[in-house]
Structure 1
Amino acid sequence: MMTLQLDPGFDPTAYAMAYAAHGRVRISGLLDEDSAEALYYGLKERQDWWHLTNTVDGVLKMPVSERATMKRKRRRRLDQEAFERARRDFQYRYESLHVPTDISDRERDADVLHRFAALMASDAMAAVLRTITGVAAPVFSDGHATAYGPGDFLTVHDDDVPGKNRVAAYVYGLTPLWRPEWGGILFFHGDDDASVSGLVPRFNTLDLFAVPQRHSVSLVTPSAVDRRYAITGWLS
């Protein structure tokens, strides 16, 4: 079983100043090439993705295979309801895989998401995150792989959930080829929504930002040639 590794030349101190100044930073080349490629292909080959969207009745979670066989009229109605709610409320639509947090599960399963969880909980990663964020003991608390295809999006929110004690959020990008006009951009919002700054999906990048901080993921357009892959989660 291959262990995921940080890039041996990675220097976290180069990013600490930017994080301190802005509360966020993009880190390029976090993992070594073999580790990043193992994660990417591991996600692309998975067939057990779940489609997630929030509704007035709670979270609607269904296997992607089930959604694919759904009658077109019902699928269109669910999509239209999601787009209508996005006009006024918090709303999301994307595909997801849970990153396991149980240590015993990580040790007996060779799946790449188990290995990613083990990496995030490792002493080496804790030292990196401590150096960049300035938090004395940041702890990997939760995460999930995400795949955004055409029509998928995430409206503005700040990740500040009562009782979760989140100090930072992360988005580990696994999207090799992407153009800005395809959407899927991680936007950070100004207080009045009059201005935003955005990060285009990239490969082997870690976007790390303090919580709370208002952000969103823009709608992926039909012209996108692939899905926007990432692993996202929080530190507490």
Structure 2
Amino acid sequence: MTTLSTALDVAGASQRLAATSRVRLPGLLQDGVGALYDAVTDPGMLWMRAIHNPWNAEVPVALFEAEPLDEQARLIALAHEEATDGFQFIFDRLKLGQARAMGLTIPQPLYDLHAWFNSEAFLSFARALTGDERIAYVDAQATRYLPGHFLNRHTDEHVDAGRLYAYVLNLTPDWRAEWGGLLMFLEAGEVVETFLPGAGTLNVFRVPQSHAVSMVAPFAGVPRHSITGWWRTTPPPGGQG
């Protein structure tokens, strides 16, 4: 059963969040990080390749990688061209609420985590950390950043989405800064703070806030895995977040 660590300094973290609009909480879980990491690295895990496009469409990674190599390279080159001066991303994900609604068979710890995030115990923790009683729902997606994957600067602001705070629960053990995949916060185009994706660490930040994930290096020893999403006023349409 997933539980919060009894060693968390919620009061101190709340003060830091109020002062800077972002905070790291190492060792969020009493246990269960290993089970979650095993779940997202399970060979049978279903991943969707996410590349920003006007249709908000994703394709199963297996289908993307079944395309001829020159077609894959063409699509990636187009994404890189758009990323030069605009918003773009390439990474793999699976939206857990959507997966449940579709009846997909994925490792049970991921469904259990989504349910726990929306338990009164966790929602009470989120409200205590932020001081925001409006938090009523937590959506979640498993994410995987392979070498070459990235997420350009953006603010997470979305009209009528009810997003109050964004979060990242990092899962990959022993991540090295030089591998990239760093959560960077920007002000006036400058990086003002960077969070290393340490295993079991929860990053929380207020929306809107400019941030990006740096490209994962080709020499990264393992993929960067995490659970990400938003603390919201209401569920997304259809509850499929």
- Confirm or deny a common fold (TM above 0.5): yes
Instruction: Give the 5 Å matches for 1:169-208.
Output: 169-190=166-187, 192-208=188-204
1:43 aligns with 2:40: yes
1:67 aligns with 2:64: yes
RMSD of aligned Cα (Å): 2.2
Instruction: Give the 5 Å matches for 1:1-236.
Output: 3-33=1-31, 35-45=32-42, 46-55=44-53, 57-100=54-97, 111-190=108-187, 192-236=188-232
The letter for the 2-side match of 1:54 is: H
Q: Which moved more, 1:19-28 or 1:40-49?
A: 40-49
The alignment partner of 2:85 has SS state of: coil
Q: Distance in 2 between matches of 1:135 and 1:67?
A: 41
Once superposed, which parts of structure 1, at least 4 consecutive aligned residues long, lie more than 6 Å away?
101-106
Q: TM-score normalized by structure 2?
A: 0.89
Q: Distance in 1 between matches of 2:179 and 2:101?
A: 39
Q: Distance in 2 between matches of 1:102 and 1:40?
A: 18
| Maintained 8 Å contact 2:147/2:216 | yes
Q: Deviations over 1:131-153 (max 9, x none)?
A: 11110141224221100011100
CA distance change for structure 1 residues 164 and 47 in 2, over 3 Å: closer, same or farther?
Answer: same
Q: Distance in 2 between matches of 1:221 and 1:96?
A: 19
Q: Distance in 2 between matches of 1:118 and 1:105?
A: 16
Q: How far does residue 74 in structure 1 lie from its aligned partner after superposition?
A: 0.2
Corresponding residue for 2:237?
Answer: none
| Maintained 8 Å contact 1:5/1:31 | yes
Q: Which moved more, 1:218-227 or 1:63-72?
A: 63-72
| Maintained 8 Å contact 1:105/1:114 | no
The letter for the 1-side match of 2:33 is: A
Q: Deviations over 1:176-233 (max 9, x none)?
A: 021111110000001x203332111110011000011010101111010111001110
- Structure 2, unmatched stretches of 5+, are 233-241
Q: Distance in 1 between matches of 2:132 and 2:2?
A: 24
Q: TM-score normalized by structure 1?
A: 0.90
